[in-house]
Amino acid sequence: QVQLVESGGGSVQAGGSLRLSCATFGVSYSSTSKAWFRQAPGNEREGVAVIVTDDGSTVYADAVRGRFTISQDKAKNTMYLQMNSLKPEDTAMYYCAASFRVNDGAWPPEADKYNYWGQGTQVTVSS
């Protein structure tokens, strides 16, 4: 059974940094792409960033471009999200997701094309 396990969330002040990790277990081959989504209370889930496994191409939401960096370590089957210059509006539950269908950087990422999801990790940014 495929499992995605996130870690690295927490509470920081505005301007601070956090690094989220998403480790994949239970599958011997790589997904075609992985993504980070987030959902704040009262808001819809939104895509944050996508990375295509084969070529490592990335795409970001306008709100985070230039501040967040998505990356992967194929050998460890792990994905990361480095978040710098955090703002209070970045406060949300962050979820990683893996797709065996999506193989391009189309935006926005469609959640229903991502087969597997992590349990979520809370990020709280105070002003």
Find where tokens 């002003």 sit: 127
Tell me: pLDDT of 124 over 70: yes
Span 10-25, mean pLDDT?
96
pLDDT tens-digit map of 63-73: 999 999 999 99
The residues, ordered by sequence, that sit 6+ positions from 124 with a Cβ below 8 Å of its Cβ are 10, 11, 12, 91
Short-list 91, 68, 120, CA closest to 11: 91
The residues, ordered by sequence, that sit 6+ positions from 95 with a Cβ below 8 Å of its Cβ are 6, 36, 37, 38, 39, 45, 117, 118, 119, 120
From CA 72, how far away is CA 51, in angstroms rounded?
Answer: 8
Helix-strand-coil split of the chain, %, nearest 5: 5, 50, 45
- Confidence band for 1, pLDDT divided at 50, 70 and 90: confident
| Mean of pLDDT over the chain | 94
Per DSSP, 26 falls in state S
- Confidence band for 44, pLDDT divided at 50, 70 and 90: very high
Predicted confidence at residue 109, as pLDDT, reads 94
Tell me: pLDDT of 95 over 80: yes
Span 8-25, mean pLDDT?
96
Tell me: pLDDT of 28 over 70: no
Predicted confidence at residue 50, as pLDDT, reads 97
Helices (H) and strands (E) in the chain, counts: 0, 11
From CA 40, how far away is CA 122, in angstroms rounded?
Answer: 10
- Asked which of 28-37, 46-55, 74-83 is least confident by mean pLDDT, the reply is 28-37
